[in-house]
Structure 1
Amino acid sequence: MTTRTHEDWLALAKKVVPTTTAWIDGPVSSLSAATRTTVNPATGAVLAEVAECDERDVDAAVAAARRAFEAGNWSTASPRERAAALHRIARKIEENVDELALLDSLDAGKRIVDTISIDAPGSAAILRWYAESLDKVYGEVAPTGPADLAVVSREPLGVVAAIVPWNYPLELAVWKIAPALAAGNSVILKPAEDSPLSALRLAELVAEAGLPDGVFTVVPGAGPVVGRALGRHHDVDVVTFTGSTSTGQLFQQYAGQSNLKQVWLEAGGKSAVVVLDDVADLDLVADGVATGIFTNTGQVCSATSRLVVQRGVADELVQRVLSRALAINIGDPLDPATGMGPVVSRRQATRVLELMETGAAEAREVHGGGLVPDMPEPTYIRPQVLLGVDPAARIARTEVFGPVLSVHVVDTVDEAVTVANSTPYALAAGLWTDSLSRAHGVARRLRAGTVSVNCVDALDVTTPFGGFGQSGYGRDLSLHALDKFTGLKTTWIRHG
């Protein structure tokens, strides 16, 4: 798959015909007949006119999801039956992996080498993992007296609304869909406005895999309309959301204004990578630092956008990081030689450029930044590295969601921990040290949902992902994700 050339991918892209309808018991146009134009951020070309749903479509989707849940064909199916269905969905993804990879690359500007090797096949793997988990999750028997039997079981909660962002359109959707479906819920997926195409195609594949009507629904549309309607709907039982902290706060409000539905948030991040002065291989560390911030053009919630480095190795490390940042090949995401593609939209480019200007004014020394000249769209942005940034500066506390790294030089380990923990976010952190004892001690003190020691953004379906503070609560991935989509029920039987 990854041996294809730029020309190969360009040719395959011409054959892609995007799905443009919503999916509510089958393909449907929005009730208003409104559409939204989705554009390739790499070229500016129009990809499709996608159904633009509103509150009436949300009502229809929720009604379909509720009917499916109450019918019980899915919600009361055996774990073995649900597992078989999840395997069929995974197989459908694998059979259409090129198309799904291209849809995310074209729609969101993601590098094809990432979508074809990580995002699309990874989505299938996650579905298979949850399928395999279903016969390994047991209930409990409480320690009662001899005349009683108390059984604790997990039950699906009902209708789950999954609202996902544009940086990993397919994979983050599957992070939510897989455990929610595995648990027996009906799921309504609201994709991001900038990247709805893989979600709409996924709806077709789920139907082909044989899930009952209404169990999986896709409702594209604007966040302030569709997202709000889902958040405030009295017949939605759970909202699971990945996106900005400010939008996550709105979903908490919506729950209070409606039915006190459960809300699970994976929100913003401003993660630090801490480099201690005992590291010997600075090239390895520099590779890790650059990867941690410039992957996916910096559009990663757990991107390590702050480098906190001890003074003894700071100058050498920073020079190595700068050389890597300046050497990144920025270009067409369909070219396998491209190291960094565009940001997702002109709107996002404007935001990133404004924050780059803010950072430049707050830093002692500025390297890079700004638009790449002579590109087909004003969405290609050069990496920026900011030196001499105060940890309290706006650029050091604001999630940019772009290729911006601020550097903070410290003298002691205590100072490094203080700076790393100095934002309201606590999603992820990185740590580089050659000392095992330091690794244990410092990792324990870093406030983050995941601490990656001597590696970059450590992630696997077997381990939970999520944060603390304004990064939200609840966990995606691992068996712990099932906690979000099930309720504990006690059945107490007195006998004798």
Structure 2
Amino acid sequence: MTMQPGFADLQLPDLSLSVGAAPLPEAGRYGLEDPCTGAIFADVPVAGADAVDAAVDAARRALADPSWRDLAPLARERLLHRLADAMESDLPRLAALEALDCGKPVALAEAVDIPAAIAWLRCYAGWPSKLAGRAGTLAATPGHYHVYSRREPVGVVAAITPWNFPLVLAMWKIAPALAAGCTLILKPAAETPLSALRLAELAREVGFPPGVFTVLTGDGATGGALAGHPGIAKVAFTGSTMTGRAILGASVPDFKRITLELGGKSPSIICADADLSLAIPQAAMGCFFNSGQVCYAGSVAHVHRSIYEQVLEGLAQVGASQTLGPSADRASQLGPLISARQKARVSGFVERAMAAGIARVGPQAAIPAQGHYVAPIVLRDVPHGAEIAREEVFGPVLAVTPFDDLDEVIARANDSAYGLAAHIWTRDLSTAHHAAARLEAGTVFANCIMLADPAFPFGGMKHSGLGRENGAEVLDAYLEPKTVVMAI
């Protein structure tokens, strides 16, 4: 088992299953692959049904334990901030673990992923002392009553997260759940467990009680056992629409609370009056960033016919200019796809599109000989009904098509099973607001891309999900309101 030379001295976290210091049973082990080389560099345990049962039991005990249940809100805030402090001190190691695990350039993990995860944690660390009910009177009942409401933690949360932004998307769930006073079991993607395991070590070091935050590694069966476990009150999931359906089905017997952040096929609309010095590079990287492995990537570009050829050429130039390379190389701008399977899936979409007569534009960026790399690809004149224009590819493939009328292209963009995000480039505020109101998407970006933030809700319409992450709104997913009516 070998690692990239640039990570040869990287210390991996403890690769075992535990709640606090107490070990959990393993149902087997699997090899962890570096997507930059295809080499196996570690063995990771699989949590089976017994480990899931033990972790849920420990989380339920921790939920009722005074050391967590009765922790004063300001003390809970301090504990969350101590974890954020520990992450800041450990940032280089966390970034290296993230880069090794999912193949993204380490410079990107240092500048974007780990700082974002810390920012989310600090944002929600401020909430425990602000979570309160309200007092009032009964509106339709005569008599004298004292009425108030409480907001109580929903219970044990199962967080099931993907491999494209392992620590960031885990923190979207961990931070609000712990701020609300829940306990949480995180099941990271099988391909990317390292930063989650390191986070669990840091949580223990700063004083989180055993059972409050547990990481279970494993496969889809592990996630399924968690999602269907009767001791789980709430499931927060980010991943594919297909898996989201299965999790929703597993929630039915126990009426679990569910948040699903699923797939997307997000449109980018570049109007005739757009500032092309901004629109072209941003629309390109809105698709190619993280090698296209972004749920709300702008993977379909609708370009006004009057500027179509100019924009096509510019998009292709941006794609061809990217430096693809291993995650340890600080010159790398894009890394590989997560696996050989994902590379084959993305390549299959492109091959079928080209076999159907859809043309590729411009030269391609060079790719390393080893690893699961796919260079950015721009496809022109893609029909609205084409597979590549309607299905989530999850790779650096941008389908481009011309349009003439804004309302017509909005209708075309809305004719989709998905509704996660949309993008528009225009200098006209009226056009931007009109499109924002009409586009069926959870987030509309005007003259910008990918600005997810803990201050505002994020999520999708239609097959792109259920509920919202982030903002004050996400806290409702982790809190149960209780009304108390007292006769006086």
Common fold by TM > 0.5: yes
| CA-CA distance at 1:92 after TM superposition | 1.1
| CA-CA distance at 1:373 after TM superposition | 5.5
Given the superposition, is the C-alpha separation of residues 289 and 153 from structure 1 closer, same or farther in structure 2, using an over 3 Å criterion? same
Within-5 A mapping of 1:338-487: 338-367=332-361, 374-377=368-371, 379-487=372-480
| CA-CA distance at 1:133 after TM superposition | 2.3
The alignment status of 1:176 with 2:187, answered yes or no, reads: no
Distance in 1 (CA, whole Å) between partners of 2:97 and 2:43 is: 14
> What residue in structure 2 maps to residue 262 of structure 1?
257
Give TM-score, length-normalised by structure 1.
0.94
Given the superposition, is the C-alpha separation of residues 330 and 368 from structure 1 closer, same or farther in structure 2, using an over 3 Å criterion? farther
- Identical positions, percent: 40
**Paired residue secondary structure (2:338):** coil
> What residue in structure 1 maps to residue 318 of structure 2?
324
Structure 1: stretches of 5+ with no match in the other structure = 1-8
Given the superposition, is the C-alpha separation of residues 29 and 230 from structure 1 closer, same or farther in structure 2, using an over 3 Å criterion? closer
**Residue deviations 1:122-149 (CA, integer Å, cap 9, x gap):** 2112111111122233322234367222
Structure 2: stretches of 5+ with no match in the other structure = none
Contact 1:19 1:197 in 2 (8 A): no
| Matched residues, number | 482
Contact 1:463 1:477 in 2 (8 A): yes
> What residue in structure 2 maps to residue 5 of structure 1?
none
Letter in 2 for 1:149: H
> What residue in structure 1 maps to residue 203 of structure 2?
206
Q: Out of 224, 235, 239, which is 2:235 matched to? A: 239
> What residue in structure 1 maps to residue 21 of structure 2?
26
**Paired residue secondary structure (2:469):** coil
> What residue in structure 2 maps to residue 250 of structure 1?
246
Letter in 1 for 2:206: A
Contact 1:420 1:446 in 2 (8 A): yes
| CA-CA distance at 1:13 after TM superposition | 4.8
Give TM-score, length-normalised by structure 2.
0.95
The alignment status of 1:276 with 2:308, answered yes or no, reads: no
**Paired residue secondary structure (2:481):** strand
| CA-CA distance at 1:368 after TM superposition | 6.7
**Residue deviations 1:405-458 (CA, integer Å, cap 9, x gap):** 101211100111012112111001111000011111111101111101001122
The alignment status of 1:197 with 2:191, answered yes or no, reads: no
Distance in 1 (CA, whole Å) between partners of 2:465 and 2:30 is: 30
| CA-CA distance at 1:369 after TM superposition | 9.5
Q: Out of 151, 154, 170, which is 1:154 matched to? A: 151
**Residue deviations 1:281-316 (CA, integer Å, cap 9, x gap):** 312111111110010000000100000111111111
Given the superposition, is the C-alpha separation of residues 458 and 363 from structure 1 closer, same or farther in structure 2, using an over 3 Å criterion? farther
Q: Out of 308, 316, 333, which is 1:314 matched to? A: 308
> What residue in structure 2 maps to residue 305 of structure 1?
299
Letter in 2 for 1:437: S
| CA-CA distance at 1:485 after TM superposition | 0.6
Given the superposition, is the C-alpha separation of residues 453 and 67 from structure 1 closer, same or farther in structure 2, using an over 3 Å criterion? same
Distance in 2 (CA, whole Å) between partners of 1:31 and 1:454 is: 49
Given the superposition, is the C-alpha separation of residues 373 and 221 from structure 1 closer, same or farther in structure 2, using an over 3 Å criterion? same
Contact 2:324 2:365 in 1 (8 A): no
Distance in 1 (CA, whole Å) between partners of 2:279 and 2:62 is: 51
**Residue deviations 1:253-281 (CA, integer Å, cap 9, x gap):** 1112x3111111000110001111112x3
C-alpha RMSD over aligned residues: 1.8
Distance in 2 (CA, whole Å) between partners of 1:369 and 1:348 is: 23
